[in-house]
Structure 1
Amino acid sequence: MSGFLRGTGVALATPFNKDGSIDFDGVTSLVNYCIDGGIEYLVVLGTTAESVTLSKEEKKTLVQHVVKVNNKRLPVVIGIGGNNTAAILEELEQIDTSEFDAILSVVPMYNKPTQEGMYHHYKVINDTSPLPILLYNVPSRTGSNMTAETTLRLSKLDNIIGIKEAVGDFTQVLRIIKDKPDDFLVISGDDTLALPAVAAGGDGVISVIGQGFPKEFSEMIRLGLSGHIQQAFNALYGLLPVIDYAFEEGNPAGIKSILKTKGVCDDNVRLPLLPATQDLAKKIKVFIENY
């Protein structure tokens, strides 16, 4: 059931015009660039999309545009999460299930629930969601870590098919892989650790850098999944500098600079974020010219 989300998904950035409005031509360009590059699925309204600065109406029109451009070529995962459980349930009631294949739901941020609170938050979503659910653990942004024990407990629920794990602690990733049900996906949320996770038995990645280098990154993950580990690691070592650049000044400033350099879309972001500095943009340009 969940195998369609193995491999490389990309957490799509939202291209903006200089006036801050959504650049729909840029969205079209980015979606086609990723699909042509061979990725396995698209993720809309994730962190990289600057979704916290998008209005409800903007989210709606952005998602509709991505779905239209994709035209059912790839599975689409939509980000529906937050720290207000009731608001998430309301959003789930309004979703058009024909357009999406799963939801990605982040651990509640800011109000820092206990492990038991996290479990019950997701249990309610599990009981309500019309679509399969990917958990998303990213303590660097949420302020609290969902432990391996809580993830494994949630993995037994019917509708929860996997986790995007961006904990930064590889031991926690290994604990989940070791004891998870066979059909529960462990998807890396960390571009640098994605291949090691695959080598350990994980299922792939929801990537930021994968939209800047879709062909190279998705092929690297496929090599890892098919057991060609050394070849895959050689590819990773070639990409390591630009993965560092993508996050040096925060996400999505770095990836948008990469996409601008490659002619995919512009690098505008919304406050409180700022575009990549000239120094970083120059390093990115030199890397791409020599890669």
Structure 2
Amino acid sequence: MSLRDTLKGTGVALVTPFKENQDIDFEAYDRLIDFVIHGGVEYLVVLGTTGETPTISKSEKIDILEFTYRKVGLSVPIVVGIGGNNTKEVINDIETYPLQQATAILSASPYYSKPSQEGLFRHYKLLSEAAPKPIILYNVPGRTASNIAAETTIRLANECSNIMGIKEASGNMIQCFHILKDRPSEFLVTSGDDHLALSLIAAGMDGVISVAANCFPKDFSEMVRQCLRSDFNSAKGLLFKMLHGFDLLFVENNPAGVKAVLAELGIIENQLRLPLVPLSETHHSKVKEYLESLKIYQAL
């Protein structure tokens, strides 16, 4: 089975729960994994930027990976986030992280450095040569300050056999269309934008790596499945149900909105690591109002 088939549908970019003392809360993480898998997501993305990985040490990352492998087993695929703006260090992480149970590596494009398209190509080419698992590009220029152009994505897809997909979060619909038009047949293209998921799947994307699926796994994953079946009228109803929730998740920073929702659901504590802080009281009260409107409070 191709990576495109294996990772079709909804992947959830898991948050990392913390205790009040800032230690990783593995009991809450266990509850979160149960919540999203029982909610119907197709796969997990661990150590993505939604997991606050810039604040997590390498030893903590390895602990998180090993816990996830033990917890999940072979029940759903696991994609591991490994990225950065030091190519040599990213390669070292790829070579030293426990990846035997991983399905693929999601690697965000280098942040801050703003490399040229040739620099991006060479960075990913070296990663692909070192990686024991398929590489999924992650293009999120709103955070990295550089865009992987459609032409560079297609060049990497054609010239690097171990680069097998992209999480495309540029928000540039025209760029997305060019990637979908020119991609190799087995090249995975998945959305990185919850708001645009319906539209992008309608254009041919294979699913979403979602932030919102942490909070609304049942509705979100069903919306994506309906889109993949071209049942866009049903999918639209679920999108509109969640739309204000999406707005609240990203109103200040990611994952402050997600953690506010999950705390209200009793799954995790509302704790982040600096420089991120919890959602402001004003916006947290709007989260409570939204959840009450959905009537989804329940004992967990």
The normalised TM-score by structure 2 is 0.95
Conserved? CA contact 2:65–2:98, under 8 Å: no
Match of 1:25 in 2: 27
Alpha-carbon distance in 2 for matches of 1:27, 1:267: 13
Partner of 2:91: 89
The one-letter code matched in structure 1 to 2:281 is Q
Q: How many angstroms does 1:217 deviate by? A: 0.1
* Partner Cα distance (1:290, 1:126) in 2: 46
1:128 is aligned to 2:130: yes
**Which residue is equivalent to 2:268?**
265
Find out whether 1:169 has 2:169 as its counterpart: no
Residue 112 of structure 1 deviates from its aligned partner by: 1.1
Bigger drift between 210-219 and 65-74 goes to 65-74
2:144 corresponds, among 142, 160, 166, to 142
Please list every run of at least 4 consecutive aligned residues from structure 1 whose deviation after the TM superposition is greater than 2 angstroms. 95-98
Counterparts of 2:210 and 2:199, CA distance in 1: 14
1:281 equivalent in structure 2: 284
- 1:98 offset after TM fit, Å? 2.2
Contact map agreement 1:198 1:224 (CA 8 A) in 2: yes
**Matched residue, 1:99:** 101
Cα distance in 1 between the residues matched to 2:279 and 2:99: 37
Give, in whole Å, the separation in 1 of the partners of 2:99 and 2:140: 26
SS at structure 2 position matched to 1:152: helix
Are positions 1:219 and 2:239 aligned together?
no
For residue 89 of structure 1, report the CA deviation from its aligned partner: 1.3
Deviations 1:131-176 (A, max 9, x none): 0110000011111111111011111121111100110111111111
Structure 1 residue aligned with 2:157? 155
Residue aligning to 2:110: 108
Match of 2:48 in 1: 46
Counterpart residue type for residue 214 of structure 1: P
Q: 1:32–1:70: 8 Å Cα contact kept in structure 2? A: no
- What amino acid does structure 2 have at the position aligned with 1:113? P
Aligned equivalent of 1:180, options 183, 196, 205? 183
Instruction: Identify unmatched segments of 5+ residues in structure 2.
Output: 295-300
Per-residue Cα deviation, 1:7-42 (whole angstroms, up to 9, x for no partner): 000000000001111111111010110111010000
Q: Secondary structure at the match of 2:250?
A: helix
Counterpart among 60, 66, 75 of residue 62 in structure 2: 60
Q: Could you say which residue in structure 1 is the equivalent of 2:298?
A: none
Give distance in 1, aligned partners of 2:120 and 2:109: 7
Query: Alpha-carbon deviation of 1:71?
Result: 2.1
5+ residue gaps, structure 1, are none
The equivalent residue for 1:210 is: 213
2:200 alignment partner in structure 1: 197
On the 8 A contact 2:121/2:152 being kept in 1, the answer is yes
Please give the per-residue CA displacement for 1:74-109, whole angstroms capped at 9, x wherever unaligned. 100001111111111111222333221100001111
> Is contact 2:62-2:97 (8 Å) kept?
no
Contact 1:137 1:166 (C-alpha < 8 Å) held by counterparts: yes
* Matches of 1:171 and 1:193, distance apart in 2: 13
Structure 2 Cα separation of the partners of residues 47 and 173 of structure 1: 22
Which one-letter code corresponds to 1:250 in the other structure? N
Give me the identity figure in percent. 47
Whether 1:247 and 2:253 are equivalent positions in the alignment is: no
